[in-house]
Amino acid sequence: MSIETSTLGTLVLIAVMTGVTLLTRYGGVFLMSFVRISPRIESFINAMASSVLIAIIVPMAYEGDLGARVALLATAGVILVTRKPLPAIAAGLAAAAACRYLIPGA
Amino acid sequence: MATLSPSYQLQPARVRAEFIRLMPIALFVVAFGAAFGLAAVQAGLTPAQALLMSTTVFAGASQFAALDMWGSTVALVPLMAVVFAINSRHLLMGASLYPMLKELPATQRYGILLVLTDANWAVAAQDYQNGQRNLEVILGGGLVLWLAWLLGTAVGVYFGGLLQQPEALGLDMVLGCFLLAMALGGKKSPRVLVAWGVSAAAAMVAYRWLPPHTHVVVGALAGGVVGYFWLEQKPA
Q: Is the pLDDT of residue A43 over 50?
A: yes
Phi, psi torsion values for A9, nearest 5 degrees: -60, -40
One-letter amino acid for residue A1 of the chain? M
C-alpha to C-alpha distance for B93 and B18, rounded to whole angstroms:
19
- Name the residue ranges covered by the structural domains of chain B: 12-186, 188-236
Instruction: Check B191 against A47: CB less than 8 A apart.
Output: yes
Q: In sequence order, which ranges of chain A are alpha helices (DSSP H)? A: 7-32, 39-63, 66-82, 85-102
For range B209-223, the mean pLDDT: 95
C-alpha dist (Å) from residue B152 to A67, B65, B68, B120, B166: 25, 18, 19, 18, 14
Look up the pTM and report it. Answer: 0.91
Model pLDDT for residues B69-92, shown as the tens digit of each residue: 999 999 999 999 999 999 999 999
Model pLDDT for residues B108-117, shown as the tens digit of each residue: 999 999 999 9
Q: Is the pLDDT of residue B106 over 90?
A: yes
Query: Measured between beta carbons, which residues in chain B are less than 8 angstroms from residue A5?
Result: 44, 70-74
What is the percent of chain B where pLDDT is above 70?
A: 95
Q: Is the pLDDT of residue A42 over 80?
A: yes
B182: left (phi over 0), alpha (psi -120 to 50) or beta: alpha
pLDDT for residue B119 = 96
C-alpha to C-alpha distance for B236 and B216, rounded to whole angstroms:
35
Query: Measured between beta carbons, which residues in chain A are less than 8 angstroms from residue B219?
Result: 51-52, 54-55, 58
Number of A to B CB contacts under 8 A, please give it: 292
Query: Measured between beta carbons, which residues in chain A are less than 8 angstroms from residue B122?
Result: 53
Instruction: Check A57 against B63: CB less than 8 A apart.
Output: no
Residues A46, B87, B144: CA angle, nearest 5 degrees: 85
Query: Hey, is the C-beta of B84 within 8 angstroms of any chain A C-beta?
Result: yes
Instruction: Check A28 against B93: CB less than 8 A apart.
Output: yes
Residues 6+ apart with CB under 8 A from A63: B207
For range B152-170, the mean pLDDT: 86
What is the percent of chain B where pLDDT is above 90?
A: 83
Instruction: Check B224 against A32: CB less than 8 A apart.
Output: no
For range B118-143, the mean pLDDT: 95
Nearest to A43 among B122, B183, B231 (CB): B231
Model pLDDT for residues A23-35, shown as the tens digit of each residue: 999 999 999 999 9
What is the percent of chain A where pLDDT is above 70?
A: 99
Q: Is the pLDDT of residue A41 over 70?
A: yes
Q: Is the pLDDT of residue A68 over 60?
A: yes
